[in-house]
Amino acid sequence: MAAPHNRLTLLFALGAGFAACSTTGGSVTMEVEKVYVPSFKFEDTAPVNDDMHAMAKAVYKLDRLMRDGNNLDDTEGAQAVALLAELSSITDRLVPNPAMTNHPVLKDRIADFDADVKAALDTARGKPPSYYMAGAVAGSCILCHER
């Protein structure tokens, strides 16, 4: 048989445990202190992650296409323009609110990347087309991701 002071300790521990928990709909939930400042807004990063994956895929294809430099035939040039247009569409979604990811590098660099993509698209659509900037865009991801 347990000593009376052991029972009292056990009852106190159980009481403290129940006081820390609240029962809601049959489930026990713990109260957790908020660890973020009130101005912090947590955003769902899934759309940004999807855009970043799509951007990586387009940049990879553009990089493969640009391996021969500025010497693209008409078909390859059209592919480069399509990839740059896709990248431009993606950056158009990311630039208006880069802070939504709470990611400092994206916030600081996405506007510059967007400007480079748009410049590359303009020159690739030019008469005659130039793909120099497209090659630069294909290699610019390293600036953020190889740190």
Mean pLDDT of the chain, nearest integer: 75
Query: What pTM did the predictor assign?
Result: 0.65
* % of the chain beyond a pLDDT of 90: 27
The separation between CA 26 and the C-alpha centre of its own chain, rounded to angstroms, equals: 37
**At 48, is the pLDDT very low, low, confident or very high (cuts 50, 70, 90)?**
confident
- CA–CA–CA angle 92, 97, 102 (5° rounding): 125
Name the DSSP letter for residue 101: G
Q: Could you report the per-residue pLDDT of 123-144, keeping only the tens digit for each?
A: 999 999 998 899 888 887 766 6
Asked whether the predicted pLDDT for residue 58 surpasses 90, the reply is yes
Domains of the chain by residue range? 1-32, 46-145
